[in-house]
Amino acid sequence: MPPTLYLVRHAEAEHNIKHQFHIPDPVLTPRGRTQCRNLCKTFPHHSKIDLILSSPHRRASQTTLFAFSKILAQPEVRYLLVPNAQEVSAKPCDKGFPLDVLRDVEIPKLFKDEGLSFGVEKIDIELMEEGWNLKVCVEFLQIFFERHPWRQPYLLAGFQASHFYLLWLKDLQKDFYAPNHEAVQARAATLRAWLYQLEAQHVVLVTHGAFLHYLTEDGTVEDLKKGTAYSNCEFRIFTFKKESTAEDAHVVEFGKEKHDIETDSTILAELDAVRLFLSIYELFHEEDSWLNALRA
């Protein structure tokens, strides 16, 4: 029987304050830590959970450690880092550390002086792989276009003249962790299929606000007016649809309620970054097709 999922958006992190997207893999704010303590007190399903998962980003790991410490104190409950659950964009705040740095430096830091009843060995990195944090950085294009929108056609025209750039962009489009719409959709589908096949029956997954829209296929990516926004440290319960299979799995919210429209500027920026990459790729692809037609 497929598991019941308890999907959680991480608590407030440094980049959630004043659009500080330049901070590499940010940690939680004091307010975020308070949110975790509150969730730990109010989460009503501690006794059910038999597996805990999270994105490898530090803010997600901290949320997991602090909000679900009661569950993690049980030796039989595993805690796995899941690279497929990372956030969607290539901004510095969404690019994690190399695996060796994460394992040897950053994870131990998360435990320092926190008084947790379990040690660093609780975090299982079995699913992690080298290169999990490698994404194309289109941040310079996004900033330039935001500040100088009228120059966008001229800059793109210059890039279009470079055949090598077109080939490079196509390769990035195919990358599993690429920050574009199709790649994130595929990553979310892969994660759903994997979750569907788990033996555990009640699974917590701590992930990110923008990626949650892709994972749950709630329609917000296509229509920002959909009422599906997640607050920091909010959890919702999902089950798998009856027609799901190991190859094609989909979820539905349990006891679905109406939620707020997505207005979180951090999430909107993440979704914009993904759409920007896609629009640039499509524009270059059209130009490349036109050039190939002329060469034929």
Domain residue spans in the chain?
4-295
What's the average model confidence in pLDDT over 223-237?
Answer: 88
Question: What pLDDT is stored for residue 165 in this prediction?
Answer: 46
What topology does CATH give the domain 4-295? Rossmann fold (3.40.50)
Rounded percentage of the chain residues whose pLDDT exceeds 70: 80
Identify whether the C-beta of residue 206 lies closer than 8 Å to the C-beta of residue 8: yes
Q: Which of 2, 13, 28, 60 is nearest to 266 (CA)?
A: 13
More confident residue, 105 or 255: 105
What pTM did the predictor assign? Answer: 0.83
- 171 pLDDT higher than 80: no
> Token pair of 208, please?
């990110």
- 196 pLDDT higher than 80: yes
What's the average model confidence in pLDDT over 105-123?
Answer: 96
- 45 pLDDT higher than 90: yes
Question: What pLDDT is stored for residue 79 in this prediction?
Answer: 98
Question: Where does the pLDDT of residue 179 fall: very low under 50, low under 70, confident under 90, or very high at 90 and above?
Answer: confident
Residues in the chain: 296
- Rounded Cα gap, residues 24 and 96, in angstroms: 7
More confident residue, 289 or 177: 177
Which residues, at least 6 apart from 148, have a Cβ–Cβ distance to it below 8 Å? none
Whole-number average pLDDT of the chain: 84
User: Which range among 106-120, 127-141, 201-215, 231-245 shows the weakest confidence by mean pLDDT?
Assistant: 127-141
Q: Is 53 helix (H, G, I), strand (E, B) or coil?
A: strand
In this structure, how many other beta carbons lie within 10 angstroms of the beta carbon of residue 30?
Answer: 8
Question: Where does the pLDDT of residue 175 fall: very low under 50, low under 70, confident under 90, or very high at 90 and above?
Answer: confident
Question: What pLDDT is stored for residue 204 in this prediction?
Answer: 99
More confident residue, 132 or 282: 132
More confident residue, 161 or 25: 25
> What is the chain's alpha carbon radius of gyration, rounded to the nearest angstrom?
20
Question: What pLDDT is stored for residue 287 in this prediction?
Answer: 45
Question: Where does the pLDDT of residue 146 fall: very low under 50, low under 70, confident under 90, or very high at 90 and above?
Answer: low
- 276 pLDDT higher than 90: no
